[in-house]
Structure 1
């Protein structure tokens, strides 16, 4: 078997509407709206530049069953570029773009193959797509099934089979949920063992937007993720895999980023910050880090402020966080030129506060108060084995009739981390009480 290379991509979601991003400047909103198309163009450019032998799309090429005409025509135009280079494409429909969705009657290049929804279909791939050439070289077998309707609840993975007696490299295209990922609809549900036993050499999966390799070799089982993040839930680099198949059916995967807009979720601590200026400069540094990491892309950032410090009271004031957010956005807008150039822009999607008041631990330790007693008990628990045993025994006495809870506490008591956990629990209780009523930490009258 000679070496060959192909691109595995999934979940293009062309023409995704990017809901929830309406209150942004026109140039930034348009950049977001166009980002799925730009990422797709980047994919086609990559395929041509790398001169791969073929490309596979594992479902959800479109964002909606009733696909927009704009998305269909863009797909047709870009796939024609691959057809001109004689690079074939193999596509299955997913839950977002099932076969029964509304679609235009378009003419597709003869190098574009949409796999059937009636049963698992197998197509032989020939070198350079020349299936009618004299003595064409077969290099792989593509197996896959499209969604006929939005929901597919059967374990169709059990229907994938190798061609009898074939030594070709078999690639299974499947849009589904392996081992029940709770973050996604459980369509085409299957277990990893089903895929391993099916006889494929490579599973080109789609549906889960998080890039992950479920199995390294024999077979290789891969989710490439989507090609363009569409919210902070899809943060980080997005793209596809270039798969190099070598002698002995070994595969080497190279991730290629394609995204035009990159999403980030970051957090900073207010601990030690003594002024609004220090906070603004720290936020600006995080934004700059995102700018540099994005390598010319536009970035969208959600930033969390956490920790305990003097500035927490400021963050609680009405309008403070919104004013800071607005100023930082305005400063970024200066980077958008009159022509609407948005490269290198870091749009601050939101500032979210999860901080707390500063706690003077040493003062509380010395206080003649309930808080002081809790903190002193937390410190003692880590050092005094007898006190630890007493606390755990009291906990188990209160668990009479709760067999499972008693079992958990008994395991905790015997663990090396038991005392440390009790200490942390006491400290946490004290901090929560102090935040609910700061006067609780004062001296007793």
Structure 2
């Protein structure tokens, strides 16, 4: 029989993330993003206090870079001191973004803050605020950025506590969307004898297993349009019998959103304007007063599709949408459209054209086949872009695209070529 206690599980703080590619955004947007990781961590600290947490675990990537900024280190020290002053302990490890080998300022941590080293898996006692032993917490940091060993195999439970919590920054079961650092298998974690694996590294919130719990909380603040929606941490309550209850708490300071706006049934540009504005205002209303960086994706098929294929038209719509929504300098709950992408289609027309003989029919058939078959699509794109792939940045960009994105590119390219050829014939 154990004792009831509460802890907060967070990971991937990425304090002082630089948010690259912000050269053309308004000052208010740039400054909000620059401060967002700190604001999110402030929300995390406040959550731990308000929820009555006994301790907090931070599963790696506290900082965004190995040579962490002094500003990030001083902010972290200050906020961890606030937790210590409340009697809330903190247990942390470093991950691939902030390994031990990175440059660090000589700062003192307050009592009750434990950052595990990289030499071996260490074990520490986690206590409730009244001093009662609640759990053993285990952890190991990354010595350098690229750790390819299976660190999970080094964990061994030490008797003497009613609950055992393992802290690990790792890629479980080879998630292809993340660097394969400290790779391990879910079956290894489940069979290791621990009650809770507090994971970091994957920025999506996932519960991989229950009893024992194997959990990714995701990062606390989205850093780009691929990290949309709520971001935060889990408040975990453990009963005296070992029952676990998890509650997610959103700590994001700035929200990234992607909305789909259909052109189905639209005949006039005015109707599209109204749908875009409505989608943006709905995103604002759902943000609970926080700023939103928005990507609008035009989807569906309709009368406006052919016009939307015109060069620069999407950029014109984007600039106008920004004007309609107003300057981010004028209100705190601003919405800034970062892009407008056209993913509309004329699938029925393409299918009919693909049945025709001749060059156009053959072109459409090949394009549709490549868009529907991921392997064929990859091959098609690589062959078509062979010259461009000689440029490192373009090669990296193409390699990072998902199969769905490649399919979308091929489909849109096919539609654009068809529209151009038909316009030429009509002229």
Give me the TM-score of the superposition, normalised by structure 2.
0.81
Paired residue for 1:322, among 311, 315, 322?
315
| SS in structure 2 of the partner of residue 150 of structure 1 | coil
Tell me, yes or no, if structure 1 residue 276 matches structure 2 residue 265: no
Structure 1 partner of 2:213:
220
| SS in structure 1 of the partner of residue 343 of structure 2 | strand
Structure 2 partner of 1:99:
100
Structure 2 partner of 1:145:
140
Paired residue for 2:334, among 345, 350, 356?
345
Shift of 1:293: 1.3
Q: Distance in 2 between matches of 1:224 and 1:358?
A: 39
Structure 1 partner of 2:386:
none
Shift of 1:440: 13
Structure 2 partner of 1:58:
59
| SS in structure 1 of the partner of residue 222 of structure 2 | coil
Structure 2 partner of 1:157:
152
| SS in structure 2 of the partner of residue 248 of structure 1 | coil
Tell me, yes or no, if structure 1 residue 77 matches structure 2 residue 78: yes
Structure 1 partner of 2:45:
44
Structure 2 partner of 1:181:
175
Alpha-carbon contact 1:205-1:223 (below 8 Å) kept: yes
Alpha-carbon contact 1:209-1:225 (below 8 Å) kept: yes
Shift of 1:83: 1.1
| SS in structure 2 of the partner of residue 331 of structure 1 | helix
Matches for 1:119-138 after TM superposition, within 5 Å = 119-128=120-129, 136-138=131-133
Q: Distance in 2 between matches of 1:155 and 1:61?
A: 21
Q: Distance in 2 between matches of 1:203 and 1:118?
A: 20
Shift of 1:265: 1.6
Number of residue equivalences: 370
Alpha-carbon contact 1:5-1:242 (below 8 Å) kept: yes
Q: Distance in 2 between matches of 1:441 and 1:34?
A: 54
Deviations 1:85-113 (A, max 9, x none): 11110010101001110010011101111
Q: Distance in 2 between matches of 1:34 and 1:335?
A: 15
Shift of 1:321: 2.1
Matches for 1:4-403 after TM superposition, within 5 Å = 4-128=5-129, 136-164=131-159, 166-217=160-211, 219-334=212-327, 336-337=329-330, 341=331, 343-357=332-346
Deviations 1:342-400 (A, max 9, x none): x3211101011122458679xx79xx9769xx9xxxxxxxxxxxxxxxxxxxxxxxxxx
- Which shifted more, 292-301 or 316-325? 316-325
Structure with the greater alpha carbon radius of gyration: 1
Q: Distance in 2 between matches of 1:439 and 1:238?
A: 46
Shift of 1:331: 2.8
Shift of 1:437: 5.0
Give me the TM-score of the superposition, normalised by structure 1.
0.78
Q: What is the root-mean-square deviation in Å for CA atoms of aligned residues?
A: 2.5
Structure 1 gap segments, 5+ residues each: 131-135, 375-427
Q: Distance in 2 between matches of 1:264 and 1:334?
A: 18
From the superposition, tell whether residues 172 and 313 of structure 1 become closer, same or farther in structure 2 (CA, over 3 Å).
same
Q: Distance in 1 between matches of 2:115 and 2:327?
A: 46
Structure 2 gap segments, 5+ residues each: 362-410
Alpha-carbon contact 1:308-1:359 (below 8 Å) kept: no
Alpha-carbon contact 2:133-2:161 (below 8 Å) kept: no
Deviations 1:168-196 (A, max 9, x none): 20000000000000011111110001101
Q: Distance in 2 between matches of 1:354 and 1:88?
A: 49
- Which shifted more, 266-275 or 148-157? 266-275
Q: Distance in 2 between matches of 1:87 and 1:241?
A: 16
Q: Distance in 1 between matches of 2:37 and 2:349?
A: 50
Q: Distance in 2 between matches of 1:170 and 1:30?
A: 41
Alpha-carbon contact 2:328-2:336 (below 8 Å) kept: no
Alpha-carbon contact 1:310-1:358 (below 8 Å) kept: no
Q: Give runs of ≥4 in structure 1 deviating > 6 Å.
A: 431-434, 439-442
Alpha-carbon contact 1:357-1:435 (below 8 Å) kept: no
- Which shifted more, 57-66 or 259-268? 259-268
